[in-house]
Amino acid sequence: MSKSFSVSTPALFSFELCMDFLRRSPKELLHRCDEDGVVKALHLQGEDILFRVTQSGKDQLSIRIVEGTLTPERRSALSEYVNQWFDLRTDLNPFYKSVKQDPLLGELVRKYRGYRIVGQPDLYESLVWAVLGQQINLSFAYTLKGRFVETYGRKLHHDGQDHYIFPSFGDVAQLDPLHLLPLQFSRQKAQYTVNISKAFAEGQVQPHLLSKLPLAEAKEELMRIKGVGNWTANYALMKTFRYPDAFPLEDAGLHNAIRNRMGLVQKPTLGRVKSLFKKYRGWEAYATLYLWRSL
DNA sequence: CGCCAGGTTAGAG
DNA sequence: CTCTAACATGGC
């Protein structure tokens, strides 16, 4: 069987802009970018595989298995993964039309035409990553994630390079939070990380059930975990299940972007952000994405 | 005594 | 309901 196959891409999709996002930190261990594409390791149906995504033609992505076998089941799972990763099923036309004249977003959607939310298909990884990023700069967050992944994740060697797979919640659930302190986790981050892992391991959070709930209820479920507040729940639901109306309202970066674009001296209040976002109803996640991009 | 960063919790008022 | 301290450390 062939080692590669194609996935077709919609109108208004820019692989390059999504690649820019994937390239944003040199400390990222969970995928590796080069000039043409991205390589990622994944645990899929009982086997660790390594695959590479590149653009092939105007409206297609090519997926090639670098290590592992490509069965028909795996092919369809990978195709689904890539669709979800790059959000290929969303039609951006209605959004672009509605913000054409918008003072905050009009210019941004023209400048970053085709940019899509690069998702995080794994809810567990989304939540842990959000906790690691709480209240610290992104660079340090990547340092913490790198140590966590190197210490508790799995490693795939290929062609002289290491590729990492995110730790499993079952393994992390058994850790005493104290074990994470040497990685320079704060006590809080350590406790929150183990809390999340336990919630998954003990079945309190079941992603496939959660994804069927309305946003408010899904958020409520996630926020029962100590360490997952409104910001984190929104962030994870936006990145993993792509609730179009989920967005981290309290996000400092979002506030800075609004301040910059509106020429404000101070960051907007929560009420102001809420009211500004009313006109983006149903596209809050994408409005947030483009504002983040402007930073 | 420098301030803010892709926040959250517990406790006080 | 709103306000505050504590959490740990890097980057500018």
CA angle A126, A287, A130 (to 5 degrees): 20
A136 touches strand B (CB under 7 A): yes
Q: What is the pLDDT of residue A1?
A: 63
The least confident of A178-187, A238-247, A262-271 is: A262-271
Give the nearest nucleotide to A227, CA to C1'. B8
Interatomic CA–C1' length for residue A188 and nucleotide C10, angstroms: 18
pLDDT of residue A291: 96
Give the model's confidence band at A2: pLDDT under 50 very low, under 70 low, under 90 confident, else very high: confident
Q: Which amino acid is at A54?
A: T
Residue A226: predicted pLDDT:
97
Over the stretch A39-91, which tens digit does the pLDDT of each residue have? 999 999 989 999 999 999 889 999 999 999 999 999 999 999 999 999 999 99
What's the whole-number mean pLDDT along residues A201-217? 97
CA of A183 to C1' of B1 (A): 29
**pLDDT band of A212, cuts 50, 70, 90:** very high
Strand C, nucleotides < 7 Å from a protein CB: these are 7-11
For A92-146, write each residue's pLDDT tens digit: 999 999 999 999 999 999 999 999 999 999 999 999 999 999 999 999 999 999 9
Please check whether residue A177 is in contact with residue A227, taking contact to mean a CB–CB distance below 8 angstroms.
no
Strand C at less than 7 A from CB of A191: no
Which region among A21-35, A117-131, A174-188, A257-271 has the lowest average model confidence (pLDDT)? Answer: A257-271
Residue A108: its pLDDT value, please?
97
- Judge if the beta carbon of A139 is closer than 7 A to nucleic acid strand C: yes
Give me the CA A161–C1' B10 separation in Å, rounded.
45
CA distance A14 to A281: 24
Strand B within 7 A of A250 CB: yes
- Angstrom distance (rounded) from CA A293 to CA A295: 5
Query: Could you tell me the pLDDT band of residue A218, with boundaries at 50, 70 and 90?
Result: very high
**Per-residue pLDDT at A257 exceeds 80:** yes
Alpha carbons A156 and A41: distance in angstroms, whole number: 7
Query: Which of A202, A184, A40 is CA-nearest to residue A122?
Result: A40
A223 CB contact with strand B at below 7 Å: yes
The helix or strand, by DSSP H or E, that contains position A186, with its residue range, turns out to be none
CA of A204: how far to CAs of A174, A198, A210, A255, in Å?
Answer: 16, 8, 10, 33
Cα distances from A239 to residues A38, A259, A292, in angstroms, run 19, 24, 14
Question: Per DSSP, which regions of A127-189 are E strands?
Answer: 154-158, 161-165
Work out if A133's Cβ lies within 7 angstroms of strand B: yes
- The count of residues in chain A is 295
| Nearest of A240, A155, A242 to residue A200 by alpha carbon | A240
Closest residue, CA to C1' of C8: A186
Q: What percent of chain A has pLDDT over 70?
A: 100
Tally of helices (H runs) and strands (E runs) in chain A:
14, 7
Q: Provide the whole-model pTM.
A: 0.96
Strand C–CB A190 distance below 7 A:
yes
CA of A103 and C1' of C5: distance in angstroms?
39
Nearest nucleotide to A139, CA against C1' atoms: C10
Question: pLDDT by residue (tens digit) across A220-245?
Answer: 999 999 999 999 999 999 999 999 99
